[in-house]
Structure 1
Amino acid sequence: MENKKPNFLALVPFILFIGSYLAIGTTLVVNGDSMGFYGFKAPIAVIIGIIAAFLMIKGKMDDKFNAFIKGCGDENIIIMCIIYILAGAFSTVSKQMGGVDATVNLGLSVIPPGLITVGIFVIACFISISTGTSVGTIAALGPIAVGFAEKTTISMPLIIATLIGGAMFGDNLSVISDTTIAATRTQGVEMRDKFRANLAMAIPAMIVTVVLLVVFGRPDVVPAKEVYEFDFIKVIPYIFVLVGSIAGLNVFVVLVLGTMLSGAIGLFNGAFNLLEYSNFVYDGFAGMFEIFLLSMLTGGLAGIVSFGGGIEWILTKIKGFIKGRKSAEVGIAVITSLTDMATANNTVAIIIDGPIVRNIVEEYKVDPRRSASLLDSFGAIMQGFIPYGAQVLTAVQFTEGQVSPFQVMPLLWYQFALAFFVILSIFIPFADGFIKKNPWDFAKWAPKSK
């Protein structure tokens, strides 16, 4: 498609999409719904933007409709959507066969009583990277973390902040996280490459957090060691998916085999029968419907906005302060952080920003593996920090009013450490060594001109 002249008017539908989502979510919160940003469904907000785009952007209706359909049916959008539903099936089946409970109990069984906060953090890291869901990790570990705080002298805000940090570790790194899927597909890179790039920043942040917890998070009163029962075989599917993805196996094959492995374990242990297994697979598909629809519709909206010159307008303005690779990466960080603050959803933010970031990547020759890493990292940093995000709100709800989100925010040590190392990596590219083993060929990666 030929380049369009920069046109701010074409960007207004995108602004309406984000603005309506933000305005309605804020209104619901003000009216007493703490989870208000999740009460209004994002796909409806996208439809508002799409309708506005068809009405406001100049051009023949057929041309605009074709741009919309091409955006919806973009190869990376379709691949992303299929990965979503397969990841949903794996997560649902694995949870139903007892995988999450087994993983939690495995971790709890090896925690030294004097290192409870470190143990909660490490277990949350493992569960989130295995299951791909930060909110699910918080839901699984929240009651246990609160129970530990009540039995000891550990600060309740600290243990809640520790739980959130561990959950965001895996949200950023997991190969089946919807944020990872969105970041890699919008940038056209392999998951293992984005994983390696992120690992160089996440591991130092994790180490710093563990050291701080060892120094400042020890309880004065050490509880008695408890015995937790677990079946290690139920943890194996998570290990298989993690290792298989990092090793470079096709993500579709990994997720299908992982779902079959979890199903076989569940059938063998009597957790469900064959019919129930098939229904859990479908439930996993259905559970990803909202993000599936959001991705497809946002791709369509981006297609119309690009057709009208909106993306070109953004890039023209961005070029005013971007002078090279470093400032381009700073721009990616700022765009992602601001969009997440506006939407309170890092997956939505990455889906929105993906096409814009991809254009920045092409213009300034930023490694797309690096841009995918920055998208996912800053989405995780901001999402795990904002007091109205699902992660913080879900975690503090387990305290039954004892802790507010604002008490937790200063203690989110992992988010602060990750932000430090990601920003440092922009100016001192120490993370590049993790991806140079597979040199990036821009000419090969860049989309062919149409």
Structure 2
Amino acid sequence: MGKDEKLSGLGLFPMVLFIVIYLGNGLITKDLKSMPVEVAFLISAVVSLMLNQKVKFSKKVETFCKGGGNSNIILMSLIFILAGVFSQISKEMGAVSSVVNFGLSIFPSKILIPALFIISCFLSLAIGTSVGTIVALTPIAIGLSETSGNSLGLCCAAVLGGAMFGDNLSIISDTTIVATKTQGCEMRDKFKANFKLVLVPAIVSAILFYLNSNPVISLEDNVFYNYSLLKMLPYVLVLIAALAGIDVFIVLFLGIILSAIIGLSLGSFSLRELILATSKGIQGTGKIVIIVILVGGIIELVKLNGGLDYVIYKIKNRVQKKRDAEIWIGILVVLIDICVGNNTIAVVSAGPIAKEIADEYKLEPKIVASILDTFAAGIQGLLPYSNPMLAVLGIATSISAFDIIKYNYYNALMIVVTFIAIFIRSLKNNNSKANI
């Protein structure tokens, strides 16, 4: 590639710089909040605008604005705003405390965290979106943490891990659709292959959530937890509407309106307090919206400077045999995911080149599709700046990404298990050839 290769490699520098500034500082100081993520991204954005002097500065600014104003970025920002309003109003209306107290009155407290994980798995599997699941369940995780004494990071990790379970498996998930289409396989075949990879991580994660639940509450027969079924109705509505496949905007609007009506009817807040709660919910999402816009702009400049093409070129030239091909396909989608912070974009970018590698080394399309989706979903739940993580942090504003990542057993396990599966499949293939 010569000169172009050097330029393309340099195109990745803004994302590498962000990782060094943000994660590096967090690891050294053991305090991720000492370097605000928006500041790290702002520095990365400025540096990205300084690169590639062959392109006019005005063109780079235009490209950055195009990325930051991408329809997906605006859509995500609006979802964050509506989610913040719904979360704040429902909380002040008493919905969160009612849901948590209802759960405490039925289940032993140590079972609640793994139960939250399982519920998140089933919900995300049904609706095919991690963000929608997170929006519905994170407020409950916050209330559960406050009431039961469990770590907020642990509760949010249960929601995030479960959300990525469905995002990875659901037949209506964007990544599933892209993975199967680029590899030319049936969704049901990909689902079967994929399910074998994530079943063990899901079971082990549920057990780990149980073992690490250490509530300060002791449920006794004479303890009574106050809850109102009417106040729980907004969450029931949101869950049912999400399962029915209704657009997330409509779901959130319905949740907001119902929470407002119930709160006003029961005297939980006055009209003025409702307006103030709405304002507070909107303001609480300002930081996340800024981050999303900055990330969108940086990603567009990384593309302009050839960063993604550079990664694809380098990895393709390192593939030697079947096992290597599967491993490098996984690494490829992980690296792109790290660069862009979006598993759908990662699968879209890696899919075509993965198909070329798969055809050359005669890999099964359903296996390749499963590897693409699983690795992309796995790393997504471990990135401090991914959309699902930002969705959690946009609601659970009192914790950092590190507080969640250290408890996100499921995402870490699905990557490890997929690697192991690749090596086991390679050994079986070698043994089969040896017996011929």
TM range, smaller chain = 0.5 to 0.7
| Alignment partner of 2:50 out of 34, 51, 55 | 55
Q: Which residue of 2 aligns with 1:302?
A: 299
Matches within 5 A, 1:11-160: 11-27=12-28, 29=29, 36-58=31-53, 59-112=55-108, 116-123=109-116, 132=135, 139-142=142-145, 144-146=147-149
Q: Deviations over 1:21-55 (max 9, x none)?
A: 2343345x2xxxx5x21232222212212222222
1:260 to 233, 257, 260: 257
Change in 2 beyond 3 A, CA 1:178/1:49: farther
Contact 1:186–1:354 (CA under 8 A) maintained in structure 2: yes
- For residues 74-120 of structure 1, the C-alpha deviation after alignment (integer angstroms, 9 at most, x for no partner) is 222221211121122221211121111111111110125xxx42234
TM-fit CA distance, 1:231: 0.8
The residue aligned with 1:8 is 9
SS, match of residue 7 in structure 1? helix
Q: Which amino acid aligns with 1:87?
A: A
For residues 354-374 of structure 1, what are the alpha-carbon distances to aligned partners after superposition, in whole Å with 9 as ceiling and x for unaligned?
645531134335999986665
Deviation string 1:198-240 (CA, Å, 9 cap, x unpaired) is: 9957776554555678899999xx8633221111222222222
Task: State the Cα deviation string for residues 270-318 of structure 1 (Å, max 9, x = none).
Answer: 1112232233223222212112111111111111221122221122223
Matched, 1:168 2:157: yes
Residues 373 and 169 from structure 1, CA distance in 2 versus in 1: closer, same or farther, beyond 3 angstroms? farther
Give yes or no for contact 1:53–1:305 (8 Å, CA) kept in 2: yes
Report the counterpart of residue 359 of structure 1 in structure 2. 349
Letter in 1 for 2:316: K
Aligned pair 1:320/2:309, yes or no?
Answer: no
Deviates more, 1:314-323 or 1:70-79: 314-323
Superposed CA RMSD = 4.6
Q: Tell me the alpha carbon deviations over residues 138-168 of structure 1, each in whole angstroms, 9 at most, x when there is no partner.
A: 653345544xxxxxxxxxxxx76xx855532
Query: How far, CA to CA, are the matches of 2:208 and 2:20 in structure 1?
Result: 39
- Quick one: structure 1 residues 13 and 353, their matched pair in 2 at CA, closer, same or farther if it must change by over 3 Å? farther
Tell me how far apart the structure 1 counterparts of residues 208 and 74 of structure 2 sit (CA, whole Å). 43
Distance 1:73 1:185 in 2: 21
User: 1:333–1:425: structure 2 CA closer, same or farther, 3 Å change rule?
Assistant: farther
* C-alpha distance in 1 between matches for 2:36 and 2:264: 35
- 2:396 maps to none
Please give the residue correspondences for 1:179-198 in structure 2 after superposition, counting only pairs within 5 Å. Answer: none
Which residue pairs with 1:335 in the alignment? 335
Equivalence for 2:236: 239
Structure 2: where are the runs of 5+ without partners?
124-132, 179-186, 356-364, 390-398, 426-436
Q: Distance in 2 between matches of 1:11 and 1:216?
A: 38
Task: Tell me which of 197, 220, 224 is aligned to 1:227.
Answer: 224
Match of 1:390 in 2: 400
Give yes or no for contact 1:205–1:418 (8 Å, CA) kept in 2: yes
Quote the Cα distance in structure 1 between the aligned partners of 2:49 and 2:311.
Answer: 20
**Cα distance in 1, alignment partners of residues 100 and 234 from structure 2:** 14
Aligned amino acid, residue 110 of structure 1? I
C-alpha spacing 1:239/1:268, structure 2 compared with 1 (3 Å): same
Question: Judging changes above 3 Å, is the alpha-carbon distance between structure 1 residues 213 and 85 closer, same or farther for their aligned structure 2 residues?
Answer: closer
CA distance in 2, matches of 1:43, 1:216: 32
2:268 corresponding residue in structure 1? 271
Distance 1:218 1:49, change over 3 A: closer
Alpha-carbon distance change, 266 to 74 in structure 1, aligned in 2, over 3 angstroms: same
Matches within 5 A, 1:270-289: 270-289=267-286
Q: Structure 1 residue 19: deviation in Å? A: 1.7
Could you say which residue in structure 2 is the equivalent of 1:441?
none
Structure 2 length normalisation: TM-score? 0.66
Q: Give the whole-Å Cα distance in 2 for the aligned partners of 1:17 and 1:77.
A: 19
> Cα–Cα, structure 1 residues 369 and 234, in superposed 2: closer, same or farther, change >3 Å?
farther
Gaps of 5+ in 1: 147-158, 340-348, 396-404, 430-450
Query: Do the aligned residues in 2 keep the contact of 1:11 with 1:311 (CA within 8 Å)?
Result: yes
Q: For the structure 1 residues 369 and 305, does the alpha-carbon distance in structure 2 shift closer, same or farther, using more than 3 Å as the test?
A: same
CA–CA separation in structure 1 for the residues paired with 2:115 and 2:62: 48
Aligned amino acid, residue 331 of structure 1: I
- Aligned pair in 2 of structure 1 residues 100, 424: CA closer, same or farther (>3 Å)? farther
CA change 1:45–1:246 in 2 (3 A) is: same
- Count of equivalent residues: 363
Note the C-alpha offset of 1:424.
7.5
Q: 1:137 to 1:264 in 2, by over 3 A?
A: closer
